[in-house]
Amino acid sequence: GAVVSQHPSRVICKSGTSVKIECRSLDFQATTMFWYRQFPKQSLMLMATSNEGSKATYEQGVEKDKFLINHASLTLSTLTVTSAHPEDSSFYICSAVDIYSGNTIYFGEGSWLTVV
């Protein structure tokens, strides 16, 4: 079946550096992908909607200059956490909608980011 893959699954970076997380739809094209953030023992909060070929739409309170989203192709969206701080440590999950299979939503496996 359709799969959404995220990479890396775990990453540790130093404060002040940037880290990129990739979200790929492996066997379907996704014009729209979504990025969520999940703090430990909490729910998923939508950060932004990633639109292929155009700017991402950010949810209220999400800093677009800090969380850069690029959806350069129909199968790849990237989230770059810039100038990372320890409070950015979280679980980041992406999802993609397969519009050709009844709008089925597929989630990636998630990426654990630890900023030290």
Partner 1 sequence: GEDVEQSLFLSVREGDSSVINCTYTDSSSTYLYWYKQEPGAGLQLLTYIFSNMDMKQDQRLTVLLNKKDKHLSLRIADTQTGDSAIYFCAESPNTNAGKSTFGDGTTLTVKP
Indicate the SS3 state at residue 100. Answer: helix
**Is residue 44 a contact residue for partner 1 (CB under 8 A)?**
yes
Q: Binding to partner 1 (CB under 8 A): which residues in 47-76?
A: 49
Binding mask 85-114 for partner 1 (x = CB under 8 A): --------x-xxx-----x-xxxxxx-x--
Q: How many residues belong to the site for partner 1 (CB under 8 A)?
A: 23
Any contact of residue 28 with partner 1 (CB under 8 A)?
no
The verdict on 46 binding partner 1 (CB under 8 A) reads yes
| Rounded-to-integer distance, Cα 111 and Cα 109, Å | 7
Q: Which residues bind partner 1 (CB under 8 A)?
A: 6, 32-34, 36, 42-46, 49, 93, 95-97, 103, 105-110, 112
